[in-house]
């Protein structure tokens, strides 16, 4: 009887020691995992601190609008909030290629050139109706267009004003009759070679384009004031004096 009691006490003692050992092991493992996680977090923070900080670079004309154009227009037009100041929301480049009904390769050339000019992939516009006199069927590609917004819009505008327009032969300014009454302006170009992105050696066919500047202006006066701040080279009208 005494032997059974000692044996039972011995088993209970061994079980208690085993349980305590297991608890100590679990506690040590948790502490090790915690220390490892803290070390990884610290090392990641150290790696991040070693990385060079990269600042966001915005297009030149976007910064120019925010810092100079908007404050000046607020003062000149008498706006109380910066949200009332007109701004360019998008630029639409549209090329009509009616001769593509005779030669479909003209569309491929236009898609390639407009993509290089705009920095964005354009889409082919298709005819909606069939006109037998022009040998036109519905659904045929007859043009190319692309819509630019955000940074790409400002980058294209900068290239247009700084590089493309000055390359026009005998350039005397652009017409100010392209406003539509709602503050939007459309500019027509006769040739895509004014853009330096288009290579003359690889040119198969030349084509013109319409470039529409869509703004938030309420009328043509506000739209003209906005474009003047971007230094659009509008042609100055000559006033003729009547003979006495």
* 8 A C-beta contact, residue 232 and residue 175: no
Residues in Cβ contact with 159 at an 8 Å cutoff, skipping those fewer than 6 apart: 195
> What CATH number has the domain spanning 60-229?
3.30.1440.10
Going from the C-alpha of 112 to that of each of 10, 93, 215, the distances in angstroms are 89, 14, 27
Residues in Cβ contact with 61 at an 8 Å cutoff, skipping those fewer than 6 apart: 154, 157, 158, 230
* 8 A C-beta contact, residue 103 and residue 110: no
DSSP H helices in the chain: 2-50, 60-64, 70-77, 105-118, 150-159, 220-229
pLDDT tens, residue order, the chain (244 aa): 556 667 777 777 777 777 777 777 777 788 888 877 776 666 555 655 655 665 677 889 999 999 999 999 999 988 888 899 999 999 999 988 766 666 677 788 888 888 998 989 999 887 767 776 666 667 677 789 999 999 999 999 999 999 999 888 888 889 888 999 899 999 998 888 888 888 777 777 788 889 999 999 999 999 999 999 999 999 887 655 554 4
Res 243: pLDDT: 47
For tokens 């889409």, name the residue. Answer: 123
Burial category of 104 from C-beta neighbours within 10 Å (exposed 0-12, middle 13-18, buried 19 and up): exposed
* 8 A C-beta contact, residue 98 and residue 190: no
């Amino acid at each position: 009887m005494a032997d059974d009691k000692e044996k039972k006490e011995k088993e209970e003692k061994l079980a208690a020691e085993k349980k305590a050992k297991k608890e100590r092991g679990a506690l040590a493992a948790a502490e090790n995992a915690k220390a490892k996680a803290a070390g990884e977090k610290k090392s990641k923070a150290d790696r991040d601190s070693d990385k060079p900080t990269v600042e966001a670079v915005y297009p030149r004309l976007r910064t120019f609008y925010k810092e100079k154009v908007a404050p000046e227009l607020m003062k000149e037009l008498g706006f109380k909030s910066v949200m009332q100041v007109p701004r360019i929301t998008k630029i639409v480049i549209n090329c009509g290629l009616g001769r593509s009904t005779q030669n479909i390769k003209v569309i491929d050339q236009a898609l390639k050139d407009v993509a290089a000019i705009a920095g964005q992939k354009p889409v082919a516009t298709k005819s909606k109706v069939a006109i037998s006199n022009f040998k036109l069927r519905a659904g045929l590609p007859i043009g190319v267009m692309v819509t630019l917004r955000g940074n790409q819009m400002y980058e294209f505008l900068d290239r247009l004003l700084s590089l493309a327009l000055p390359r026009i032969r005998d350039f005397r300014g652009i017409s100010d009759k392209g406003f539509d009454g709602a503050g939007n302006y459309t500019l027509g170009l006769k040739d895509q070679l004014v853009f330096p992105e288009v290579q003359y050696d690889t040119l198969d066919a030349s084509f013109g384009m319409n470039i529409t500047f869509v703004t938030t202006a309420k009328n043509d006066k506000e739209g003209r004031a906005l474009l003047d701040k971007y230094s659009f080279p509008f042609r100055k009208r000559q006033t003729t004096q009547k003979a006495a």
